[in-house]
Amino acid sequence: MRAVRAVVTTGPGSVEVRDMPAPPRSDRAVVRVDQAGICGTDLKILAGSIPVEYPRVMGHEMVGEVVHGAPGGDIPAGSRVLINPATFCGRCDLCRRDLRHLCAAGGLLGRDVDGVFSEEIEIDEVFLHVIPAAVSRDAAAVLQVLATVVHAQRTVSVFPDETAAVIGLGVAGQLHAQLLASRGANVIGVTRSRWKRELAAGLGAGRTTTPDEAAEIVAEATGGRGADLVVESVGTEATLARAIELAAPAGHVLAFGTVTDGTGELPYYQLYFKELTVHSPRAAGPADYDAAIALTAGGRLHLEPLVTARFRLDDAAAAFAAVGGDNLKVVLDLSPAGQGAHA
Ligand SMILES: [Zn+2]
Ligand SMILES: [Zn+2]
């Protein structure tokens, strides 16, 4: 039987690259993975803080090529695609209300079912989104994150010249800052990392600041009112608290980072006193993927600088270790060139 290589976690803290049976040619599409992104969710799964059944093929961010089109389908072999990794049933009440990203029967690839850190994936065609040639290979590697950013920003309106602060300038924070700038907001990027501040400034943030100086800079930029919108893109209670504090009365807080370890010490009184609206978006839907691809293909957003490291599939453990710190998106490169390019 033909085998494919895949990155498998076999227990908390343990990961190996092993041979798995290749997907059969069935009524579903088969995609050969070209590149796959590693994100914080993968690290939490690897550490065991997000529970999964073992062994589990990891990963949910990918770009690849259809090698077997679903019979009778619309997306032929040879198409460059990404997979929407949030599966949905298409039949439940939430799916029928166009809330497929909340499907009760759904799950995430690489968490609830086997994922995309594999040479080939078998998947229903409905989860495929075609990527046009105008999107570069580096940009394509970040599209899945952009779709979640698009989905999140659909929940907030931004009027030109309103002030939007973005706390945390990792991949998602950088994309939030760019998208907000392109929507006309005055963006203030907040992070301790100097080079991430410089990157955000080059990609559309009008001002950047460290967390310690953020209150002062936001006050200065808004005549003391506070930010109309604050996007929290770190996922800690401390940064969510800062988002609440930086918001103007009647402002909006977009809680994008997922807080999993709260201590119960948020400034709750400010939620009431400022009459804030907090948005807690989850995942992304098919229309968000289409919008993310169109925004990138149209040249409106610049995703290439966000890919900062590439590793061979066989070096997955080293790739996980490289996430965070000075890296933005770390990519597993499964292309023939990528297999030779890295130590
Ligand atoms: Zn992710
Ligand atoms: Zn459903």
- Is 151 part of a structural domain of the chain? no
Does one domain contain both 194 and 72? Answer: no
Q: Compute the distance from residue 331 Cα to the ligand 1 centre, in Å.
A: 11
Please determine, for residue 338, whether its predicted confidence score (pLDDT) is greater than 80: no
What is the distance in A from the centroid of ligand 1 to the CA of 134?
A: 23
Total domains, the chain? 2
What CATH number does residue 215 fall under? 3.40.50.720
Ligand number with the minimum distance to the CA of 116 = 1
Boundary (domain end) residue, out of 279, 295, 318 = 279
Residue 340 has pLDDT above 60, yes or no: no
The CA 223 to ligand 1 mean position distance, Å, reads: 37
Q: How confident is the model at residue 343 (pLDDT cuts 50, 70, 90)?
A: very low
Residue 179: count of CB within 10 angstroms of its CB:
25
Residue 22, domain member (yes or no): yes
Q: Judge if 177 and 198 occupy the same domain.
A: yes
pLDDT tens sequence across 13-53: 999 999 999 999 999 999 999 999 999 999 999 999 999 99
Is the distance from CB of 43 to CB of 56 less than 8 angstroms? no
Ligand nearest to the CA of 148: 1
Mean pLDDT computed over 306-329: 95
User: Domain check: are 128 and 35 in the same one?
Assistant: yes
Q: What is the pLDDT of residues 250-285, one digit of tens each?
A: 999 999 998 877 777 899 999 999 999 999 999 999
CATH number, domain of 29, equals: 3.90.180.10
* 78 and 128 co-located in one domain: yes
322 and 223 within one domain: no
Same domain, 188 and 141: no
Q: Domain for residue 77, yes or no? A: yes
Domain range for residue 107?
3-146+284-341
Task: Tell me the pLDDT of the chain averaged across its residues.
Answer: 95
Are 189 and 142 contained in the same domain? no
Distances (CA, A) of 260 to 41, 79, 83, 151, 300: 11, 38, 26, 21, 33
Same domain (yes/no): 272, 289: no
State both tokens at 228: 């109309």
Cβ count within 10 A of residue 47: 12
